[in-house]
Amino acid sequence: MYQNLVPRFISYVQTETRSDETSTTVPSTQTQVAFAKVLVKELQDIGMSDVAYNDQNGFVTATLPSNIEKEVPTIGFIAHMDTADFNAENVSPQFHENYDGSEIKLNEVENIVLSPIDFPNLKNYLGQTLITTDGTTLLGADDKAGIAEIMTAMEILMKDPSIPHGTIRVAFGPDEEIGVGADRFDVAGFHADFAYTMDGGPVGELEYESFNAAQAIVTIQGKNVHPGTAKNTMVNALKIALAFDAALPQNEVPEETDGSEGFYHLYDLSGEVEEAKMVYIIRDHDHDKFVARKEMIQGIATKLNEKYQTERVTVELKDQYYNMKDIIEKDLSIVTLAKTAMENLSIKPIIEPIRGGTDGSKLSFMGLPTPNIFAGGENFHGRYEFVAVESMEKATNVIVEIAKLNAQ
């Protein structure tokens, strides 16, 4: 049943599809276009219907027609093609069968080690087959594991007509990692009643609550003169930047928060005496606290401008996505469906808020309620990424089980 799952996954991760946030094209990189066309052919080869590539939004879509007589909701399964901002060229997956809990030498030459001391999550995979990187690239399980699982589940359903299912739609999209992939998705044309992104982490993850998210670009204008005659004249933009950041709650940062706690994250700072720029992301699950965080950013700018008696600090705020719980909690039956499917397969559901977002965060507000299900990978976005073969098999099973339950 899984004979094509791992070869499919290995082929996918060896295809470079990194997105580019500086690009103005859709998708942001031509490697994603090329990969999309590979997926189109594969969907056609396994017998899917209505297979198409939309060159306006970069999505590949296809249909598995219903094999039952009664009308049931149409389900969508969605995954993204791009990988994150880390080296993704010449990915060389390494297999570690019957993992024994010891450290894994990813790269002998560079002495790069995947250690259970640094990554205690490895202890959850004793006896399993791990797929890792060679230490020089990411792996790409985020989200090519999701694509492989959806493709394999569709192949299973195509080959075994004894498994009842309603109409299923699949979509593989671009540019999720740079936060713009879902913006152009044709929800109305997708013709699904609800969907799931296969874009989560370890086995059991089932998420329908995400952050509310915004970006703040803070630009600071200084005044540069010779430092020897600077008294009462120089205005150092860099010093104002430091003061701006110091005015924020210093413990409300990613490295000191977890669970449902929100944060301010300064992830880019550049400049000189004359001008400086800071880029923050703002995150909170609670909508009121999210609004308050944005107001604090703006309020600090106002106070600094009052101090300098001119507008030296400007803030450009942009909302990025919202907490999908606000939509999905209106009808939790789709969460219950996925939860029941996991329980039927002896998988313990782990229902916790995402400390981030998925395409489902945007799609839910666009009219397609879309919780997130595990794809199996861990340590995403870097050289220590890995996935267990067994985890991908379980994710594939969940897709099939959801289809069966929906048909009852």
Catalytic residues: 82, 176
The upper half-sphere exposure of residue 44, i.e. CA atoms within 13 Å in the direction of its Cβ, equals 10
CA-CA distance, 77 to 345, in Å (whole number)? Answer: 19
**Nearest CA among 379, 376, 380 for reference residue 388:** 376
Please list the alpha-helical segments (H only) found in 23-172: 30-45, 141-159
How many CB atoms are closer than 10 A to CB 61? 26
Phi, psi of 287 (to 5 degrees): -65, -40
| CB contact at 8 A, 240 and 305 | no
Phi, psi of 374 (to 5 degrees): -60, 145
> Both ends of the chain: CA-CA distance in Å?
23
User: DSSP class of residue 95?
Assistant: E
The upper half-sphere exposure of residue 342, i.e. CA atoms within 13 Å in the direction of its Cβ, equals 20
**Residue 82: both structure tokens together:** 């791009």
**What is the helix (H) or strand (E) element at residue 401, kind and residue range?**
helix 389-406
